[in-house]
Amino acid sequence: MADHLQLADPADPAPADHPPLRAPDGSVNPAFVARAETAISAGDSALLRELVTDLHEADLGNLIEALEPELRPRLVELAGADFDFSALNEVDDTVREEILEELAPQTVAEGVRELETDDAVELLQDMPEADQAEILDRLPVAERATLEHILDYPENSAARRMQTEFIAVPAGWTVGDTTDYLRETSDLPDRFFEIYVVDESGRWKGAIALDALLRADRAAGLDGLVQEDIRKIAPTDDQEQVARLFEKYNLVAAPVVDPGGRLVGVVTIDDIVDVIEQEAEEDIKALGGVSSDEDLSDTVLTIARGRFNWLLINLATAFLASSVLGLFEGELQQMVALAVLAPIVASQGGNAATQTMTVAVRALATRELTSANARRVVLREGLVGLLNGLGFALITGIAAVAWFRLPGLGVVIGLAMVCNLIAGALGGILIPLAIQRVKGDPAVASGVFVTTVTDVVGFFSFLGIATLWFGLK
């Protein structure tokens, strides 16, 4: 696949007299979109190719998303061989699925043939099995076998992110042999960062950085340049684990080596950036009770259905919290101020718990929070809750006295505030730890339990202390 290195810049002129792709604020220029839509509607293939051929795949993906849905497949068809199918990996899943459904299998197959294996796998893996098989059947035998083998690995494994295009040379070569090979070979990977050394059976022996190769004498053997302590990846390693490896050791590429020691692929930093973004997006969505599959382009019905179950669970926990108010129905009737102030205590505890939970869930995801330091972190969060509780006890106590002219009410809400902020801080870290201990996903399940704890503790502590302090029955 040709590597389009030209990045659209707001200041760069578009081809001929066309408007630039980017508006001054960096968004897609509506004038450029309108010009593309005009070309597509008129079936003007020449004009469309002039507009999109030199676009980077990320920019082309942005343009596709800006088009009306019915025009997107027509853009691919009119652009023909000049369309870079890797751009479909830059759009929302829903948009990509809609486009692929409208394209002829032969068109998709021809586009897949031009992609590197990691991009081809990314495009194929979310397709229905029947459509996937139909496209694979139209590929040459060798390419089909490679893609089918990769697709057999688990969805979030390193193998799904690797490309099988890499440079491997025999251990007996010299630097001159290697540089001549690189100069004379036309079908090298589009980009590479290391040269890999293998034995006669294709078993991995080590890696040579490009800068070391270029600085070495032509007559020097590769054995003196080989780094054997390079971090290797197994095909079945989880992609999140691989991303942490890249982050920890500042890697730009890592070889993928099978259990037999054979070099089967390489994972590069551009794919790892996608993994980091994907995992972070999933965590953010999970904390909000949103499905990781939800996209901005999804239909109203799809979004509503995806959010309904989580809202139903939250409704059940809300009834649980409200049942605590029912226990103090008589006290609330005697003293209306309690009903006014109770939500403040519960809400403040929930906010404190959310802060702690956000930090805890992220620390668990990055392995910063482990059993080795859990006790120290829990104690720290408890003390943070105590200090904030004392501070807000003073603030809310003064506000309550000024509002209702009852000094005792300030003491009651202050004590309840301390209790609930401590409970929120402890719940915000202990609940994610407990969920992870039972092999659950803290990002998915923590929120509903944490808010339930702070609501129940907040209502119960405030109304319970008020009942005792004012002698209510």
Asked, colleague to colleague, whether 30-158 and 168-287 share their fold, the answer is no
Dihedral angle sign, alpha carbons of residues 142, 147, 153, 159? positive
pLDDT (tens digit, 0 to 9) for every residue of the chain, 473 residues total? 444 434 444 444 445 578 899 989 889 999 999 999 999 999 999 999 999 999 999 999 999 999 999 999 999 999 999 999 999 999 988 899 999 999 999 999 999 999 999 999 999 998 999 999 999 999 999 999 999 999 999 989 999 999 999 999 999 999 999 999 999 998 888 888 899 999 988 899 999 999 999 999 999 999 889 988 889 999 999 999 999 999 889 999 999 999 999 999 999 999 999 898 888 888 787 777 787 777 777 888 888 888 888 888 888 888 888 888 888 888 888 888 999 999 999 999 999 999 999 899 989 988 889 889 999 999 999 999 999 999 999 999 999 999 999 999 999 999 999 999 999 999 999 999 999 999 888 887 788 889 899 999 999 999 999 999 998 87
Cβ neighbours of residue 472 under 8 Å, at least 6 residues apart?
330, 331, 334, 335, 466
| Tokens, residue 470 | 């004012």
Supply the pTM of this predicted model.
0.74
Can you give the residue ranges of every domain in the chain?
30-158, 168-287, 300-470
Residue by residue, DSSP assigns 204-260 as EEEEEEHHHHHHS-TTSBGGGT-BS----B-TTSBHHHHHHHHHHHT-SEEEEE-TT
Backbone phi and psi for residue 96, each to the nearest 5 degrees, phi listed first: -60, -45
> For 290, left (φ over 0), alpha (ψ -120 to 50), or beta?
beta
Contacts of residue 105, defined as CB under 8 A and 6 or more positions apart, other chains included, come to 131, 134, 135, 138
Q: Tell me: domain 300-470, CATH 1.10.357.20, correct?
A: yes
The string of pLDDT tens digits covering residues 425-453 is 999 999 999 999 998 888 877 888 898 99
The count of other CB atoms within 10 Å of the CB of residue 372 is 7
pLDDT of residue 311: 85
Amino acid 12: pLDDT: 47
pLDDT per residue over 241-266, tens digit each? 999 999 889 999 999 999 999 999 99
What would the DSSP string read from start to end of 153-186?
S-TTBGGGG-BS---EEETT-BHHHHHHHHHH-S
The residue among 50, 81, 51, 86 whose CA lies nearest residue 67 is: 51
Residue 455 burial by Cβ neighbours in a 10 Å radius (0-12, 13-18, 19+) = buried
- The predicted pLDDT at position 7 comes to 42
Q: What is the pLDDT of residue 16?
A: 52
CATH number of 168-287: 3.10.580.10
- CATH number assigned to the domain covering 30-158: 1.25.60.10
Residues 75, 77, 78, 80, CA torsion sign: positive
Backbone φ, ψ for residue 44 (5° rounding): -85, 90
